[in-house]
Chain A
Amino acid sequence: MATPVWLTSYTELSSNAVKKPSASYPDPPAFNKEIILNTKTKHGKEILGPTPEERDTLKVKKAWEIALAPSKSLPMNAIMSYFSGSSLQIFSLTMTFMLFSNPVKAIANVGPTFARYESDSTFSRILQTKLVFIALQLATMAVGVWKMGSMGVLPTKRSDWLAWESETLVLEKGVFVS
């Protein structure tokens, strides 16, 4: 049985397969068949794509952008934390929760986040960006800790440990005869 044309054009990626009856329909505007099919221009000069080094630099640059993104929201978080006060309200509680949950999620997803930029050649540089990213997330959490501290829910004071202090053992037995 002869292979249908549509099956060939789906399955075969060779240039022959792509070649279609040109008369059937025009190419889309700005489609340069030659660039796709040949690496050489009419003038015989090779069109150069980005080199691998350039590509890596681009990737690392992009990774740095992602890594430094939390630092932009950090001042806003700090200011909001400061102004939302130390009272235990639903707003400040939710905010504090976000200050912890978002960084934790971000840190947990640090691999997938940077996976796109990762390659063997950029491994060490991407690692730096990852560490900076994690450090900034930790800084966000630090804002959360500070916020909790200002709300008084951190056991930093003597009274927070009072329940664990036990009574002094009394050595003598005194009895008052009433």
Chain B
Amino acid sequence: MHVRALSLLLTLVFATLVRGLFADEAFVVDWHVASIGSIDRSRAILSPDSVAVFSESSVLASLDPGNGTVRWRHFLRESAVPRHSHLTRLDSSAILLAAATPADAGVTHIAAWVEDTGYLVWETYLAGGAPVGVSVAGDVYIMQSGGKVRRLSHSTGSEVWEYSLPEGHSPVDVVASKRNVLVITRKQDKGLGYFTLNTESGELASDSFVVVDKNPAAVSFLKSEGYVADVIAWTVPGQTSTITIANLSDATPSVHTITPKHQYASFSLTSTSTGIVVTITGLDGKSWTESYSSSRGKLTLVGATDPTESAIAVGDGRLFEVSKGSISSFTLGSADAKAESITEVSFPSSPIEFVTCSSSACIVGHKNGEYVFASITGHTWTRDESVANVVSVFLMELEEEGERISLGEVLFEENAAPLQAYIHRVKRHWNALASLPQYLIGFFHRFLSGDYDAVPIDTNSTVSDTFGFRKFIVLATTKGGLRALDTAHGGALAWKVDDILPSDVIVGIVPGDAKDKLYVVGAFGGVAHVNGMTGKIITTSKIAEIGLGDKVESVITFNDDGVQYIAAWTAHGRLHFLSGSTPSKPVYFSKATEDAIAGYIYKEDQIIPTWKFTLPTSSYRITSVASRDPDDKTVSVGRVLGDRSVLYKYLNPHILAVAAVDDATKSAALFLIDDVTGRLLYSSFHDDEVVDTAAGVKVVVGEHWVVYSYWSELATRGEKLVVLDLYESDIRNVRWSEGRNFSSFTETPLPFVQGQAYLFPEHITSLAVSRSRFGITSRDVIATLDTAQVAVLPKRLLDARRPVNRDPTNEEKEEGLVKYDPLSGNDKRFILSHVYNVIGTEKTVCSPANLESTVLVFSYGLDLFFTRITPSQPFDLLSKSFNKGQLLLTIFALLVGVRFTGPMVRRKQLNIRWGTQK
């Protein structure tokens, strides 16, 4: 009880409006991992002094070939769709990216970028469909899916000429050379062929459509990467033994059909000065190359390598063979040549997905999301991009700090013979002495600097610091692995596991029954039990009862009557308990679909559908659903007003906040429903708004409040943040739940809802609520912004009770209310990420530290960002500027003073008594 009273006092005393990050905390309490995302062979350009990539996450980046750090990157989510993109080199200093725009797939965005600096040279938007082919021969030639071929100026991007395909032709590719432009199309009745265009005028050089393959189904089109010959190749679906190759550089195209040694799964084509090299991967996974010389319209096989388990790639006249422990390079074309160089490289054990090479180095992409750069000189670096593809996150608490003594040792010392136990104990203490110097150093360091982060913690240990700032962030990635990052060491990798559930896709990661155990669950029922401290897999199993065609959709963990249950929810609405026991009491589940929320009851080992909440009209769709964090604690059941009366909070734990948008009318709606009974508690419609429905509505549920936000196109344009505070009654001091048990099935009054809207100038991409250990500290809403920032919005500011258009009265001032200002959240001091460019974050998780004042915040998506916040100021932590030396000196001076003046005073008093002194 005292704790509660004290806590209230603390909250009142320390909740101030002045917030912000101190300069000496930046880069100390926070860290940032800049990612680029997954890349593949077609979207990586490697040259001896640069690496340029365009990733699946829409990041155009240039990497330093020396160490793999990002030289620059652009997040092109607004302008480029990775699936319809072409990345090519424009000239020696610039790269070119052409891609369909996300807003309209019929528009192509094409831009040239300086490779060293990332500066934009030019950009232009072209109507006429997504880019199908891009070819650079001095100027840029682009073919779009709408049947347009355009020549763009190399230096300005302005259009030189435009050509439209005749009726009946569908675009395939464009190949430009100095002399002419080949427009390759497919015609329904004729098959695959090409037109020749005049480079200067863009007009047809000859009227004829030259057919090269009569089979209209010819697909899997591949253009040569070569610089001499214009070679194209294609295959026919289902046909895995022959490849058709056409050399278009001749006056009349020569079409050849080659038959590789074995049936193939995939191939690529490279042209050399004398012919072409085909790199083939067989059906059995082995790779080989076949070299052909091209002369006088003939293609002759001149050599082939033996099929090998290693991955092979061709880059600038060389053949590279990448095996587990080395990378070997060969001169291209000489079939049986010895390797020119063999470089020892320790590649990850994960299977190789692609290899792309320049003349001196290769990038080897592994299935686990690691990209290894290896040059023939032996220089390597690795980028782990799996952390840019996170499925699920868990912040794991580490072991308590203190003496490392195992239970076994304690038992031994208690039960053994006294002498033996004594010897054991002395030995143990003797061994512990070894860490004394380090402890002392740490102690004095911390004492003098006041900086707890400066205390070195062994990176390899699994011990938490005193304040619980050190945790492991365990990430489950779409690449099938786990990564544990150390929050106290700038996100350094603590451990990793790859391919944890073979031939399965990770759905989620949840804490297990023991503190250091984690459950990793896959879509096809794979379950791995992992030690979260070390990453060691303890057991793997499979959910046996999972039905055919069914798969796990999500993993849930909940606590009922002190027992922790872990369960997997499947697409067919089944529930499989992974922890041994099943609940004996009925448990009510709710699950959201695109347009409805469905309720279920689990009793007697059966799950039965109970209720369904459907949206008002069919044009509505649910964009986000939130419930209160079950671990969130309530300290005070009411809110104290200025006149010391109480508004009781509506603390129904069953509240589900359902945010929906209507694509037809561009409006948004929010529903609060009870997730046990499906009862509608509150609804609000924003019918007169023009909502960006693609961005959706983001919603979070705090203690007794809901905050949601949506982008409004209406004046004033911006993100509108709505806060709803829920109270039991609008009458003060009335608490209907007093002395009663709460049941959703009894007719309880609807909550009294107070709402207020705030304006935020930036797009908010996600919302989260901070949670402290005991719930005494006030709560913050954490928002990730599309300006590559992470911001904090104090709930104290997002208050529905702030007086509007007038100054607060004395009572309201005592309540801590300030005058309503719609732009309250727009304060640069609320930006947590300061100078970091945190792009693509989609989610934020909060985890309490050991200190009540401090909450750890971790945002992820593409980049990772970690910091810690103190929503009510660090009231339980001495500030670094606290002058301990002065305090000690003062105490010391006082002690000395007392030591000397004490006897003097005593003597004087005695003399007075004896009358010898007045």
Contacts and interface: CB of A to CB of B under 8 A. Distances in A.
A174 B737 contact: no
Contact of B590 (A162, A163, A168, A176): A176
B645 A173 contact: no
A69 to B, nearest CB: 36
A68 to B, nearest CB: 38
A51 interface: no
Contacts of A173: 558, 560, 583, 585-588
B733 A158 contact: yes
Contacts of A165: 637-638, 735, 738
B627 interface: yes
Contacts of A159: 638, 640-641, 644-646
A159 B646 CA distance: 6
A173 B41 CA distance: 50
Contacts of B637: 162, 165-168
Contact of A172 (B4, B558, B645, B654): B654
B656 A176 contact: yes
A164 interface: yes
Interface string B579-618: 0000101111111100000000000000000000000000
Given A163-B4, A165-B637, A177 B554 contact: yes
B590 A177 contact: yes
B653 A170 contact: yes
Contact of A174 (B583, B653, B733, B735): B653
B742 A175 contact: no
Contact of A158 (B8, B556, B636, B644): B644
| Size bracket, chain B contacts | 35 or more
B1 A163 contact: yes
A152 B640 CA distance: 14
A175 B1 contact: no
A90 B803 CA distance: 32
A158 to B, nearest CB: 4
A165 B641 CA distance: 16
A19 interface: no
Given A162-B636, A177-B589, A171 B4 contact: no
A174 B656 CA distance: 10
Contacts of A166: 637
B646 A162 contact: yes
B741 interface: yes
A155 to B, nearest CB: 10
Interface string B708-747: 0000000000000000000000001101011011111100
A154 to B, nearest CB: 10
Interface string A144-164: 000000001000011110111
A177 B591 contact: yes
Contact of B651 (A152, A162, A164, A168): A168
B589 A175 contact: yes
A76 interface: no
Contacts of B744: 172, 174
A3 interface: no
A170 B741 contact: yes
A157 B743 CA distance: 29
B743 A171 contact: yes
A171 B644 contact: no
Q: Among the interface residues B625, B636, B644, B675, which one has the most CB atoms of the partner chain A within 10 A?
A: B644
Given A162-B646, A165-B738, A167-B651, A174 B636 contact: no
Contacts of B592: 178
B158 interface: no
A174 B644 contact: no
Contacts of B589: 174-177
Interface in B725-777: 732-733, 735, 737-738, 740-745
Contacts of B625: 176, 178
Contacts, number: 106
Contacts of B646: 158-159, 162
B521 to A, nearest CB: 13
For A164, A166, A170, which residue has the most chain B Cβ atoms within 10 angstroms?
Answer: A170
A7 interface: no
Contacts of A174: 587-590, 653-654, 674-676, 744
A30 interface: no
A176 to B, nearest CB: 4
Nearest to B601: A172
A47 interface: no
B634 interface: yes
A171 B744 CA distance: 8
Nearest to B638: A162
A169 interface: yes
Interface in B124-166: none
Interface in A30-56: none
A163 B8 contact: yes
B636 A177 contact: no
B556 A175 contact: yes
A155 B676 CA distance: 38
A164 B635 CA distance: 10
B742 A163 contact: no
B75 interface: no
B640 A171 contact: no
Nearest to B561: A173
B495 interface: no
Nearest to B645: A158
B5 interface: yes
A175 B587 contact: yes
Nearest to A166: B637
A170 B652 CA distance: 8
A155 B458 CA distance: 52
A176 B675 contact: yes
Nearest to A165: B637
A158 B592 CA distance: 40
B10 to A, nearest CB: 12
Given A162-B640, A165-B638, A178-B554, A171 B590 contact: no
Contacts of A164: 1, 4
A159 B732 CA distance: 10
A96 to B, nearest CB: 19
A174 B610 CA distance: 13
Contacts of A177: 553-554, 556, 569, 589-591
Contacts of B569: 177
B745 A175 contact: no
B148 to A, nearest CB: 45
B742 A171 contact: yes
A148 to B, nearest CB: 14
B627 A168 contact: no
A33 B506 CA distance: 121
Given A157-B645, A162-B646, A177-B589, A167 B640 contact: no
Contacts of A157: 643-645
A177 B743 CA distance: 20
A135 B638 CA distance: 40
Which residue, A162, A170, A176, has most C-beta atoms of chain B within 10 A? A176
Contacts of A172: 586, 588, 654, 676, 743-745
Interface string B647-691: 000011110100000000000000000111000000000000000
Nearest to B585: A173
B740 A168 contact: yes
A3 B717 CA distance: 118
A71 to B, nearest CB: 33
B117 to A, nearest CB: 43
13 contacts: A158-B638, A163-B1, A163-B8, A163-B636, A167-B634, A167-B637, A168-B637, A176-B591, A176-B627, A177-B554, A177-B589, A177-B590, A178-B592
9 closest Cβ contacts across the A-B interface? A157-B644, A163-B4, A159-B640, A176-B627, A168-B742, A174-B654, A168-B737, A171-B743, A177-B591
Interface of A: 152, 157-160, 162-178
Interface of B: 1, 4-5, 8, 553-554, 556, 558, 560, 569, 583, 585-592, 625, 627, 634, 636-638, 640-641, 643-646, 651-654, 656, 674-676, 732-733, 735, 737-738, 740-745
